[in-house]
Amino acid sequence: MQWPAWLKTKGRRRREARSRPFPDTWRAYLAKWVHYYNWLPPEDQAELEGHIHVFLDAKHFEGCGGMTVDDEVRVAVAGWASVLCLHRETDYYPILVSVLVYPDTFMAQGEQEAPGGVVVEDPDARDGESWDRGAVIIAWESLAEAREEGAPCNVAIHEFAHQLDLENGEYDGVPGLEDAELHEEWLRVCEHEFKRLADAADTGRETVLDPYGASDPAEFFAVVTEAFFETPLALRDKHPRLYKVFSRYFRQDPAVLEARASSKPA
């Protein structure tokens, strides 16, 4: 018997979503837009595909400013959101209801409440925003250009990292860490590294981290998460302790994957 959708439990609905076949066209979109997918071994690719189904089943996508949100856009955004869920016990961004996609950078909407209700990325034109009232906003061109140019920035990783940060109540750069020892180590390492980045930003010294991460601890978490998945070998090389706490939280070792994909020494 077919149960109506509203009667299904969350767990059952997710299991059903995960078990749906993953279209080959969607795999091609992942290969094009989510290079991390290409780094993963087949069993992790399968896990990621399951997460993408659950994400797309649960979240509403909306095109803004004339943007047409087709499967390619949905799969690319859901792909990056799901990379951050791999190997972890996840509730799939429970606060998030809608993903709003603009064709290009957009101007701020409504009032600014940073660092409370909304994390804004730029006072004028924005690449993305992350709201605590259920929305992530992404400028497609910002994501697409970075992919095409091989740039290490990634607005999708950045905004979904803010959502993870928010899961335990506030934008403070500390996601939900149940392991007390990891929590302690996280605070110790991130405080030290945040100061290092702030010093580098003050003196104009370049590091593997975007100086924007020195804005506040929430931006630090989002920027390090971008580097963790985009340039993991460089992050591990220059900031080994930071890499290690992020690796423990995300339960992934992207530097090994990048080394394998690029034939660099692991």
Contact 242, 231 (CB under 8 A): no
Q: Which residues pair with 98 in a beta bridge?
A: 60, 135
Which of 173/254 has CB closer to Zn ion?
173
Which of 50/213 has CB closer to Zn ion?
213
Which residues contact residue 189 at a Cβ distance below 8 angstroms, ignoring those fewer than 6 apart? 241, 242, 244, 245
CB of residue 123 to Zn ion, shortest distance in Å: 13
Residue closest to Zn ion, measured at CB: 222
C-alpha 114/C-alpha 144 separation (Å) is 26
In the structure encoding, which two tokens stand for residue 195, read together?
A: 């100061």
Q: Which residues pair with 120 in a beta bridge?
A: 129
Which of 158/239 has CB closer to Zn ion?
158
CB of residue 219 to Zn ion, shortest distance in Å: 5
CB of residue 110 to Zn ion, shortest distance in Å: 17
Residues that bind Zn ion (CB under 5 A): 119, 219, 222
State the SS3 of 35-77: HHHHHCCHHHHHHHHHHHHHHHHHCEEEECCCCCCCHHHHHHH
CB of residue 162 to Zn ion, shortest distance in Å: 6
Q: Which residues pair with 130 in a beta bridge?
A: 119, 136
Q: Which residues pair with 102 in a beta bridge?
A: 139
Which of 78/166 has CB closer to Zn ion?
166
CB of residue 121 to Zn ion, shortest distance in Å: 5
Which of 132/219 has CB closer to Zn ion?
219
Which of 159/258 has CB closer to Zn ion?
159
CB of residue 214 to Zn ion, shortest distance in Å: 12
Instruction: Go through 96-130 and write b for each residue having 16 or more CB atoms within 10 A of its CB, e for each that does not.
Output: beebbbbeebbebeeeeebeeebbbbeeeebbbbb
